[in-house]
Amino acid sequence: MTALDQQTSARQSSLRASNLALVARTVCASARPLSRADVAAATSMTRTTATRLADELVAGGVLGEIEPDGGGRRGRPATPLVPGSRLAAVGLQVNAGFLAVRVVDLRGRVVAESLEYADLVESDPEATLDRLGALSARVLAGLPEGLRLVGAGLALPGIVAAATGTLLRAPNLGWSGVRPAELLDPAAVAGLPLRVGNEASLAARTVAEVAPGRPGPFPDFVYLSGEIGIGGAAVVGGEVMAGRHGWAGEIGHVCVDPAGPACRCGSTGCLETYAGRDALLAAAGLTPASTPAHLAELAAAGDARAREAVTAAAQALGVALAGVINVLDIPTVVLGGHLAQVADLLRPELESRLRERVLSARWTPPAIHAAKNIPAPGATGAAYRELAGVLTDPARWLP
């Protein structure tokens, strides 16, 4: 083969890969099943090309077909295309209060999962990851035959060096300089490479996408992940803003009062010392074993201490979020975790504070939304991230 022939072959291969990805993304992004004719129209391909590519993707499991709905129309009904059900990814999560394993397919369905609650504050990394590995191995052992795993991701509540997969620091776990891929049994992720990421950044993907490749209702938003501490992420155009080193979003450690309480991170007056779950419950006179739902009941019933705790948390959130909105011009805020459970109580005071502090509020008032109640959303987001790779390069997964 001449050099010219090689270049031509490479261009054709690249074009095919690009077109396969376009077809896969078009089907996965649609809120309704698409026919091959629909795909051709949406991608400006010929019907023949769109059909051939779709057939390849169906054969490889990237796309699937469902029974056609005649809808009363004449002629043979078109066979609708949907995301495939034979490819899935493993999402793992370690948080201060639980371990989670979740297997999600390209349709966004949870194929298998397990959630184990535990107190992991100041835990031993090796012992904890051994425990996570055992939990994951049990989940993977029960997967249906024919399911192909394409990737594995781990969500952790701290600063992660993505290039090396190192958890640099997780104050609420008490972990520093941990390389999970070296401690986790390969069998726990079916021998796949493990990608580690920040829990809040990965959880934000479950708001940015309602299923892998399908956009959620907000293209731009600030996400707060509420657990024992508070994580955060800024999403623009459906993509999480990672920052220069991938460490962006640590809103829980934004100082709202320099003279405030000491934080596990070593600073004082951090947002999570007022609005983190344990801090919020303690301020209401409740123990860590209590729940945000109980706090909400007390506040709604007029309990003075509970209402004061919610007001203080809302005020602290207002200070931190106003700074983020003023800098980034993203007036949509989505509250996750325990913050979502008390969002209705937080909203009046929080919106009032943001109207006072956000310069552009006169024209675009900040809006506060509660995320859907998904246990361990970081695990789901970790799986979504791995499945995004299939939609970027589906040719890799074809026979």
For 164, residues 6+ apart whose C-beta sits below 8 A from its C-beta are: 179
pLDDT of residue 73: 57
Q: Where are the domains of the chain?
A: 14-68+75-83, 87-206+377-397, 217-370
> Does position 278 have pLDDT exceeding 60, yes or no?
yes
Q: How confident is the model at residue 90 (pLDDT cuts 50, 70, 90)?
A: very high
SS3 at position 305? helix
Is the pLDDT score of 331 beyond 50? Answer: yes
* Residue 71: pLDDT over 60: no
Q: Quick one: CA dihedral 29, 216, 100, 157, positive or negative?
A: positive
pLDDT, residue 9, reads 54
Of 1.10.260.40, 1.10.10.60, 1.10.10.10, 3.30.390.50, the CATH number of 14-68+75-83 is 1.10.10.10
Taking the CB of residue 325, how many other CB atoms lie within 10 A of it? 23
CATH (one of 3.30.420.40, 3.40.50.800, 1.10.3720.10, 3.50.50.60) for 217-370:
3.30.420.40
Pairing of strands 98-105, 110-117: antiparallel
Of the candidate ranges 14-18, 128-132, 209-213, 216-220, the one whose mean pLDDT is the lowest: 14-18
Common-topology check for domains 14-68+75-83 and 87-206+377-397:
no
What's the CATH fold of domain 87-206+377-397? Answer: Nucleotidyltransferase; domain 5 (3.30.420)
CA 289 to chain centre: 26
Q: Report which of 75, 109, 70, 68 is spatially closest to residue 89, judged by C-alpha positions.
A: 109
Q: What ranges in the chain are assigned the alpha helix state H?
A: 3-29, 36-43, 47-59, 125-141, 180-183, 199-208, 272-275, 277-283, 292-300, 304-328, 338-341, 343-357, 377-392
Q: Are 98 and 121 in contact (CB under 8 A)?
A: no
What lies within 8 Å, CB to CB, of 121 at 6+ separation is 96, 172, 173, 174, 228
pLDDT-derived band at 261, boundaries 50, 70, 90: very high
0.75 surpassed by pTM: yes
- Kindly tell me if the per-residue pLDDT of 54 is higher than 80: yes
Determine phi and psi for 2, rounding to 5 degrees: -75, 165
Report whether pLDDT(139) > 60.
yes
